[in-house]
Amino acid sequence: MSKRNRRLSEDFSMAALTGKWLILAAVGVSLALLYVWQHVQLVRTGYAIKNFEQEVEKWKKKNEALTLINEKLKNPQRIESVLARNNMGLVFPQGKNVVRLRYPRPQAVHDEEKSGSEGGTDALLSFMRGGGGAGPGKM
């Protein structure tokens, strides 16, 4: 090999080596950037999750407040004293005013639900559909 050819060959192998290093560096930088991007995305997603959590918390609080208002409004003491007597002039029904429906009394329904047997709401619905099953209310 001539002297010139040898130099050209050395230059070529040098350039190839440099190219390899450059590619390696590029890959390294890309990986580093990917890692940073991933990390940033992770942090951003974390913020988004936190925001959603706060949003859920906000609605939960709203729900709690509304439940509380609802329960206060349904307080039988309030209904009896404020609505039934003062505002609307309602009175408790006397004997003959009461019309008894032939379905299980509330306590019986509740008891059946507790025992886990077929009954409760299902029994009531089945009775209302005409399926029978539940007899007249009795303590």
The amino acid occupying position 132 is G
Q: How far is the CB of 26 from other proteins (least distance, A)?
A: 27
Which one, of 134, 133, 139, 137, lies nearest residue 98 by Cα? 137
Cα radius of gyration rounded to whole Å, the chain? 40
- Min CB(72)–other proteins separation in Å: 5
Min CB(110)–other proteins separation in Å: 6
Centroid of chain to Cα 136: 41
In the bound state with other proteins, the residue whose beta carbon lies nearer, of 7 and 78, is 78
Residue with Cβ nearer other proteins (77 or 87):
77
What is the Cα–Cα distance from 19 to 17, expressed in whole angstroms? 5
* Residue 50 beta carbon to other proteins: minimum distance, rounded to whole angstroms: 6
Residue nearer to other proteins on the CB measure, 7 or 61: 61
Residues in the chain, overall count: 139
Contact between 130 and 137 (Cβ < 8 Å): no
The residue (of 30 and 45) whose beta carbon lies closer to other proteins is 45
Give me the residues that bind other proteins (CB under 8 A), please.
Answer: 39, 42-43, 45-47, 49-50, 61, 64-65, 67-68, 71-72, 74-78, 80, 92-93, 95-96, 98, 100-101, 105-107, 110, 114, 136-139
Do 84 and 118 contact (CB within 8 A), yes or no? no
